[in-house]
Amino acid sequence: MKNFSKKVKYSILSLREKFLSTMLSKHLDTTFTNSTTKTMISSTETITFSTETEKNIKLVSENVFNIMKSCGNNPIKYIEYMEAEGTKVFRIKDASKKLQKINEDEGLITELNGKKALYMNFILGLGLSFTFKPALVMSYGEIEPYYMLREFYKWYSLKTGLPGFNFTAQENFKKYLKNINDSSIKNLNYKDMLELKEAIARDSEANEFVINAVKLKEGGEKVFKKMNDGGANI
């Protein structure tokens, strides 16, 4: 039942992201058609972007899958891996409540600028600064394995250099995912639209990976049960 609820949760989020991506694509098509200059620039950038991005997407999926298997989907192992790669990890009291004040969630916090960065640095005791480097920020206590897997997947995508994690892209992603009918999306410039599209893709990839990981675990449990019952032909 727990695995089913996880699949439902991430499936609903994926549907919202697909709807948002469809809405964005309509505006991207309009921008593409209406500007000769942008058409020439976007045509070149998109092809380059797409080829390299596709290779890295596959690389991320394969590598995270292998890491997941080797560490037994243990949240602490993911955290240790991140720390070994130089990413800072912060466990603070009432993390969720504190992060909600700046429209952030527990887990991977991507780069921040301005007032959001100032606030984040303050609550983490890092002094006063208007910039904040990506870090993992969570409350104390037990960590749900699949939630941590999702955050780890996004972190690995960021570490690999996949696009969509810059401050503006992430801010727009949070804004429009919260209100997918916000018509102001059409006022974004072409560059911001492309970056938003990448931000949506990165989150969707993490969701799909977790959904498949849950399915894989369910499948393994069913086979194990059949073996115990003497009914599995493998």
**Confidence band for 37, pLDDT divided at 50, 70 and 90:** very low
pLDDT bracket for residue 27 (50, 70, 90): low
Residues 6+ apart with CB under 8 A from 135: 87, 88, 89, 90, 108, 109, 124
- 157 versus 216: the higher-pLDDT residue is 157
Indicate the pTM of the whole model: 0.82
Q: Is-contact 151 107, C-beta < 8 A?
A: yes
pLDDT for 125 = 97
- pLDDT band at residue 39 using 50, 70 and 90 as cut-offs: very low
Residue ranges per domain, the chain? 2-218
The HSE-up count of residue 92 (CA atoms within 13 Å, CB side) is: 22
Higher pLDDT pick, 144 / 3? 144
Q: At residue 3, does pLDDT exceed 60?
A: no
| Residue of 23 and 168 predicted with greater confidence | 168
Whether the CA torsion 149, 160, 88, 202 is positive or negative: it is negative
Q: Which of 15-29, 100-114, 150-164, 171-185 shows the lowest mean pLDDT across its residues?
A: 15-29
Q: What is the pLDDT of residue 7?
A: 52
Query: In the chain, which residue ranges form alpha helices assigned H by DSSP?
Result: 2-34, 36-71, 75-84, 95-100, 114-123, 145-160, 167-178, 190-229
pLDDT in tens, 113-141: 999 999 999 999 999 999 999 999 999 99
Give the angle 182-194-205 at the CA atoms, nearest 5°. Answer: 85
Predicted confidence at residue 126, as pLDDT, reads 97
**54-98 residue pLDDT tens:** 999 999 999 999 999 999 999 999 999 999 999 999 999 999 999
| pLDDT one-digit tens code per residue, 164-200 | 999 999 999 999 998 888 999 999 999 999 999 999 9
pLDDT band at residue 18 using 50, 70 and 90 as cut-offs: confident
Beta bridge partners of 88: 135
Q: Tell me the C-alpha to C-alpha distance, in Å, between residue 89 and each of 78, 101, 142.
A: 11, 20, 15
Residue 131 token pair? 């910039």
Taking a C-beta distance cutoff of 8 angstroms, is the pair 17, 200 a contact? yes
